[in-house]
Amino acid sequence: MIPAGGKWGPACLGPLGGDPDPWAPWRGGWEHPRVGVSWMPGFLREGMGAWMPGPPHPPRLPHAAGTLLLCLVLAQAAADPTANTIAQAYSLARLLQADATDLLQAYLSAQGPPFSAPGFAAPALGWAGVPGAALPFPAWRGLGDGERLRGNQVAYAAYEAFLAVVADDQAQLHPGRPQLLAHLARARARVRGLRASLGAVMAALGVVPGTGPPLVAMATANQASAFERKCRGYVVCREYRAWLGRTVRDLTLLRAKYLA
């Protein structure tokens, strides 16, 4: 209840009906409604001889600082179209990276032994024309912006085609796996979106698009056995995931450069 002849409440709320003052608890404490003493947050009040607790909801400065930082980053991205374009490509690449991990697991589980065995990995398997993401760190770190972006552009043009071959293979090998087929179709659609997003980054930075080698493996794609099709689909899904990891690292460097 409100004591007769006056109003009380936490100082951070101000007079009843007034505007809140979030800094009031740190200026002069707040009035306890029953004993009428000022409680100071986290301090031993002189003359009281007791530890007095603070107000129930003190200001959270770390959260406020984080919010302010986020607002500054978003404002800068909106003011700089190049930074905004890079941020969008980065977010999309992160989404595809998580999706590619799920795709690889779904693919392996659908193929049966030995692919579906826990921890299956066959790093020696390859398929001609599938872009490999592996690159020594010094060589990767020494790439220029244009080289990074052109490498990604060429790689995903190839992966869009290779994922189509894998989808056709799986439609013949596992027609009763609609979830896997839908996952492959979604991956292709998202690769197209990532290619468009990377193209926007290249346009913003004035990078001339590159051209990749011909997909020589496509001519003999229909001549493989069922086991060979399973193997090459594994290679495509594995290397696709690896390339997305490289793309995220590439865009992380670009974000640091243009959002700084």
pLDDT digits (tens, 9 = 90+) for 113-134: 999 999 999 999 988 889 999 9
Span 174-211, pLDDT tens digits? 988 899 999 999 999 999 999 999 999 999 999 988 77
CA-based max dimension of the chain: 94
Residue whose C-alpha is closest to residue 16's, from 3, 28, 29, 26: 3
pTM: 0.67
Cβ(208)–Cβ(198) below 8 Å = no
Residue 13 pLDDT > 60, yes or no?
no
C-beta neighbour count of 184 within 10 angstroms = 25
For residue 87, what are its two tokens? Answer: 């941020």
Residue ranges of alpha helices (H) inside 112-225 are 137-141, 145-173, 178-205
Whether 93 contacts 234, CB under 8 Å: no
The answer to whether 127 and 228 are in contact (CB under 8 A) is no
Sequence-separated (6 or more) residues with CB below 8 Å from residue 56: 10
* Number of residues in the chain: 260
Say how far apart CA 93 and CA 229 lie, in whole Å: 27
DSSP label at residue 136: -
Q: What is the mean pLDDT of residues 137-158?
A: 93
On whether the CB atoms of residues 15 and 7 are closer than 8 A, the answer is yes
Which one has a higher pLDDT value, 39 or 197?
A: 197
What is the spatial distance between Cα 10 and Cα 20, in angstroms, rounded to a whole number?
10
What is residue 128's predicted lDDT score, i.e. its pLDDT? 85
18 has pLDDT over 80 = no
Average pLDDT over residues 64-75: 54
What is the pLDDT at residue 50?
Answer: 41
Residue 25 pLDDT exceeds 80: no
φ, ψ for residue 26, nearest 5 deg: -95, -10
- Judged against a pLDDT cut of 60, whether residue 259 lies above it is answered with yes
Q: What is the mean pLDDT of the segment spanning 85-107?
A: 95
Output the six-digit token pair for 92. 């999309």
